[in-house]
């Protein structure tokens, strides 16, 4: 067994090392969760108030044990509508945001740059995908709506990244370069240690051989 086999591969090149999720994937998950929460609030809160008001108007002639019982019944009716309509909006908004960010991140990775056009294309694709079940007219409407949504959203994201000093793509390229340089330095350090150990091992083996040669000459 050689010294290289004993020391193993450099850090980052072994199969046992744990790989972190890419930042783009983490951002997609976070944005989808946030979109789901916003969609639930957007769809659930108005439905809650509307259902509560409709229950009060509908039950004017009903008898309740007391005022608290009437209030609880109205709240239960509103809560059912909050869950029902909140969920309808939640999964749709979460899916829209997830697909939109996935397409825009894929385009940025493919083109190796972040532009407003990537978000406009992602918005057009996502909008058309959500409205394609309505036929050609729905497909065109979704395409226009998605593009109209993607341009300002992309412009805002690019503007924020510019204020931060670098885009997400530039940050990823910089981190890859720094990680590569770090791994290269670690590997070169291990190679230097291996060379020193090899010299020590060879010197240790040469000592007995020279003594044996001297003894054989003296005899």
- At residue 162 the predicted structure's pLDDT band, cuts being 50, 70 and 90, is confident
Stronger pLDDT, 192 or 208, i.e. the higher one: 192
My answer on whether 146 and 41 are in the same domain is yes
Q: Which of 165, 190, 210 is the last residue of a domain?
A: 165
Structural Rg of the chain based on CA atoms:
33
Distance CA 48, CA 137 (A): 33
On whether both 96 and 195 belong to a single domain, the answer is: no
Whether 79 and 149 share a structural domain: yes
Owning domain of residue 39? 23-165
Same domain, 146 and 206: no
Which range is least confidently modeled, 13-22, 73-82, 145-154?
13-22
Q: Are residues 116 and 58 in the same domain?
A: yes
Residue 126 contacts residue 143 (beta carbons within 8 Å): no
pLDDT tens, 63-87?
Answer: 555 566 667 777 888 898 899 999 9
User: Would 78 be classed as within a structural domain?
Assistant: yes
Residue at 84 is within a domain: yes
d(CA 94, CA 195): 56
Same domain assignment for residues 134 and 195: no
Residues 79, 152, single domain; the answer is yes
pLDDT of residue 172: 72
Q: How confident is the model at residue 100 (pLDDT cuts 50, 70, 90)?
A: very high
| Same domain flag for 114 and 153 | yes
Tell me: pLDDT of 195 over 50.
Answer: yes
Q: How confident is the model over 117-136, as pLDDT tens digits?
A: 899 999 999 999 988 888 88
**Number of folded domains that form the chain:** 2
Residue 9 lies in a domain: no
Average pLDDT over residues 142-152: 91
CA dihedral 17, 182, 30, 155 (to 10 degrees): -150
Q: Both 120 and 192 in a single domain?
A: no
Are 31 and 124 found together in one domain? yes
Q: Residue 146: which of 161, 131, 133, 158 has the closest Cα?
A: 131
SS3 content of the chain, % helix, strand, coil (to 5): 85, 0, 15
Would you say residue 14 lies in a domain? no
Say if 6 falls within a structural domain. no
Indicate whether 11 belongs to any domain: no
Is residue 82 located within the same domain as residue 128? yes
């Amino acid at each position: 067994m050689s010294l290289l086999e004993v020391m193993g591969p450099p850090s980052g090149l072994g199969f046992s090392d744990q790989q972190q999720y890419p930042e783009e994937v983490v951002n997609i998950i976070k944005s989808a969760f946030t979109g789901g929460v916003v969609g639930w609030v957007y769809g659930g809160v108005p439905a809650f108030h509307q259902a509560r008001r409709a229950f009060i108007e509908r039950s004017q002639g009903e008898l309740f044990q007391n005022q608290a019982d009437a209030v609880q019944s109205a709240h239960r009716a509103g809560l059912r509508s909050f869950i029902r309509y909140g969920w309808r909006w939640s999964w749709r908004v979460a899916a829209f945001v997830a697909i939109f960010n996935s397409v825009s991140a894929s385009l940025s990775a493919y083109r190796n740059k972040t532009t407003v056009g990537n978000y406009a294309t992602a918005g057009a694709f996502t909008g058309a995908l959500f409205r394609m079940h309505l036929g050609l007219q729905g497909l065109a409407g979704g395409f226009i709506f998605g593009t109209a949504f993607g341009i300002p959203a992309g412009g805002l994201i690019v503007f924020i990244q510019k204020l931060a000093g670098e885009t997400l793509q530039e940050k990823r390229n910089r981190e890859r370069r720094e990680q590569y340089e770090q791994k290269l330095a670690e590997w070169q350090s291990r190679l230097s240690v291996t060379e020193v150990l090899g010299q020590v091992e060879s010197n240790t083996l040469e000592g007995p051989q020279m003594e044996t040669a001297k003894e054989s000459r003296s005899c």
